[in-house]
Structure 1
């Protein structure tokens, strides 16, 4: 079958997307936890940084020094910008002193604020897709954070008294905003600090993060207690934010203990809805001990996990599959990544896992999982449609935008990945009709793959993976 014929076939498959979107409105309750924060985005020029240094009388020797990648003084923030500017690289440094946070807020400011953190991004996506009640956890919820939630009555969090309220209207005035400054710079710009002048070789960004709560997986007690009430009845619980933990936290506590605490709380939340489906969005977890503990402890309690290519490779590295991880790293294609998924499935016994890669989404699940292969495919197709709308318009803030890409054909990139995956499935399991249906099953597993709609010049790709995973799962109703 030619690519043209396959595109026609998949265009027909995708016709279910509007109905799947409507059916998301039948989902009564969903909890999105744990991390929501404020992304403060600003584009700077070298001249702006030079003026900032001069007007504040900053010590250029400190800025030019080689110290650890952390921010405890005002000069450290500029040092981080300079480091990334002259290398054309992206890094994230943590702000350790609240006074620096206040200084950045006053002196640097921002061009725009946007929702940050998987938990916040997922909550907005689920609410605009019509889930009846979306409960979002906020470690901190001052006005700066609340205003980034969509103005929707079905999107809820707890106020200072522990009462549920529309998230966009909450203002916990005693909370500090948890801000991730995203400081962007352009290729070819120049910056002079002291006697050193550098030219930026590549457009990139430096992230200065003040987020002491999410970095220790702080769980708001009011929210946790409210989620234990029987009227919440969450059909889905989507977890994220664990990637920010480290083996030893800044206050000396243990990151693993925070994971254990969350497990006990989630178990209480699920008592009101024993059949609730628990999903973990893995995200990029840098601390290997935390990453391994997540895979060996938390994953055994969840029904589903989601990851991208890099995150799958990271998992392979901590389950004894370093050679396959390197193979996937060298040749990052659907065939190799599927082999990696099989290893993770065998190791974790997790009943459902989804890979979202460029051009193709792949779900591997246990035979007779509660979501059928066809339901999965329909959910994944809607996710592709919503992701294309997000990429093409820059935001999915209203329901009328969600079908923006309706009628678009799937990408050649996606079909090429599907070809390779179909051949690998044939080599391992036998003949299949993967190219036209995206579904294969045997007596043990079910495999679903969907080639996606790609937008040539995307306006925004922020939070794309979180949107894909959550819509794929919740739309499979």
Structure 2
């Protein structure tokens, strides 16, 4: 059944992607310096830094990285749980340590950069992207295609490809430490492949918003049909107020123009910022998150036991996820919640239709292509992902949803909402995990509207 549904959904979505006009993507773009971890090297580094202190930080993530010990401990936390995390590296000496440690490859990074290359460079959907710093290296990482950044020339707003922006601003680099499933270090073994991200730039963590966007947002918004907002995760209680006011203003403009906006949530260590995001989530049409991020929101609304249930099992308990999504929907008033985890996706919507499930299936194909190849270069890559097997471990998840909610063919009614479920396609040895969540969420969001508009 699922193979048939996958093939049908793919055909439906690609035939309708042309229905999408421009998509606004804001606010975070950077360069990813990817390091594939080596067990022996990591153990030696931990021993040199002081194993006892490092292990202390592997138990619970700090709010930000202030030392090499915290960096290494946070990497071990990700390995031990097989969970992704991203923290801001404030310490200059730790940033220097990461530079000396080096990288294996440089890639487009930041949610906006990854989504721009996928939507514009692969799907051919015109995108307007906010790029905090357009260095030559950053601009060169953008694919060819209808990808635009605003530029002011002679007092007029123009939309140009980043490569034509002709500036050489700073490079914002994030250090990404990748590990495969089964990766062992000391007595830790990774239950699944994932990564830890050390953010070492001063623009994205402070949500720097370019003058072109601040002064000309009304004009920029005239040109868009959809918007995806991301990059709030590194803000702190000390610096979030000003950017949040700007974002509120942008959302008011988008809502006045009936432009649906999706918030791509990411692990946000600062509880004050999480609460602030929750308070204005109702201004968004949609939000996308994984189990770690959903658990972190349950914590701030006082649902600590539910937060623990979300992190207790692998695969993640779908009944606990649904319960958490219902609580979030009622609290925030958001129309759509898209949950993605290893092995399956769920979408809770206050509207009904097979197109919600079909958009998730299309997103799962894009994610499989991304995992297999490290990057999606063309629609042919997504076609080839059809051969990747459907996740067998999702069967108990589907059975639990059928028993609890009477789900059939991935659809059920829960309270006044529709719950859509899809088992994903699992790549046994993914080349990379960076950007898979962004690939999933952006593909599902635009896919849903492409089908709706069709």
Give the TM-score normalised by the residue count of structure 2: 0.81
Structure 1: gaps (5+ residues): 1-5, 53-59, 190-198, 250-254, 426-431
- Does residue 293 (structure 1) correspond to residue 273 (structure 2)? The answer is no
Instruction: Give secondary structure in 1 for the equivalent of 2:311.
Output: helix
What is residue 241 of structure 1 aligned with on the other side?
Answer: 231
1:176-187 to 2 correspondences below 5 Å: 176-182=170-176
Q: Is 1:170 matched with 2:165?
A: yes
Tell me which structure has the larger Cα radius of gyration. Answer: 1
> Is the CA contact (8 Å cut-off) linking 1:85 and 1:185 kept in structure 2?
no
Q: Deviations over 1:408-435 (max 9, x none)?
A: 553222232111112121xxxxxx3x23
Aligned ranges 1:338-349 → 2 under 5 Å = 338-349=322-333
Alignment of 1:407-422 (within 5 A): 407-422=387-402
**1:156 correspondence with 2:148:** yes
2-structure distance, mates of 1:235, 1:386: 22
1-structure distance, mates of 2:51, 2:440: 40
Q: Residues 462, 188 of structure 1: CA spacing in aligned structure 2 closer, same or farther, 3 A cutoff?
A: closer
3-state SS of paired residue (2:144): coil
CA distance in 2, matches of 1:212, 1:244: 10
1:148-297 pair list within 5 angstroms: 148-152=141-145, 154-159=146-151, 161=153, 163-173=158-168, 175-182=169-176, 207-229=197-219, 232-249=222-239, 255-269=240-254, 271=256, 274-297=257-280
- Tell me by how many angstroms 1:327 deviates: 2.7
CA distance in 2, matches of 1:16, 1:237: 23
SS in 1 for 2:21: coil
Map 1:380-391 to 2 at 5 A: 380-391=360-371
2:49 & 2:422 partners in 1: Cα distance? Answer: 54
Q: CA deviation at 1:285?
A: 1.2
Partner deviation per Cα, 1:82-139 (whole Å, 9 max, x = no partner): 656898779866454779868965x555331112221221222211342431111111
- Tell me if the contact between 2:27 and 2:207 (Cα under 8 Å) persists in the aligned partners: yes
Please say if 1:141 is aligned against 2:123: no
RMSD over equivalenced CA pairs, Å? 3.6
1:305 to 262, 287, 292: 287
How much has 1:244 moved relative to structure 2? 1.1
Q: How many matched pairs?
A: 427
Going from structure 1 to structure 2, the CA distance change for 1:213 and 1:63 (only over 3 Å counts) comes to farther
Question: Residues 44, 462 of structure 1: CA spacing in aligned structure 2 closer, same or farther, 3 A cutoff?
Answer: closer
Structure 2 CA distance for aligned equivalents of residues 48 and 224 of structure 1: 45
State the 1:349 CA deviation. Answer: 1.8
The DSSP-based 3-state class of the residue aligned with 1:242 is: coil
Secondary structure of the 1:462 match is coil
**Partner secondary structure for residue 383 of structure 2:** coil
Whether contact under 8 Å (2:6, 2:362) holds in the other structure is no
Aligned to 1:193: none
Q: Describe the shift of the 1:362–1:47 C-alpha distance in structure 2 as closer, same or farther (beyond 3 A).
A: closer
Deviation at 1:386, TM superposition (A): 0.9
Summarize deviations over 1:46-73 as a string: whole Å, max 9, x none.
9999999xxxxxxx9999999999778x
Alignment match, 1:465: 437
Among 24, 29, 34, which residue is 1:31 paired with?
Answer: 24
Give the equivalent residue in structure 2 for 1:16: 9
Cα shift at 1:357: 1.9
Q: 1:329 to 1:92 in 2, by over 3 A?
A: closer
Q: Is the 8 A contact 1:28 1:132 kept in 2?
A: yes
Between the aligned partners of 1:323 and 1:24, the Cα distance in structure 2 is 41
Residue of 439, 446, 452 corresponding to 1:474: 446
Q: Which residue is equivalent to 2:125?
A: 132
Q: Given the superposition, is the C-alpha separation of residues 444 and 239 from structure 1 closer, same or farther in structure 2, using an over 3 Å criterion?
A: same
Whether 1:350 and 2:334 are equivalent positions in the alignment is yes
Matched, 1:116 2:109: yes
Alpha-carbon shift at residue 151 of structure 1 (Å): 2.2
Distance (Å, rounded) in 1 between the aligned partners of 2:255 and 2:215: 12
Structure 2 spans left out of the alignment, 5+ residues? none
Name the counterpart of 1:3.
none
Aligned-residue offset at 1:209: 2.9
Structure 1-normalised TM-score? 0.78
Measured in 2, the distance between the counterparts of 1:391 and 1:290 equals 31
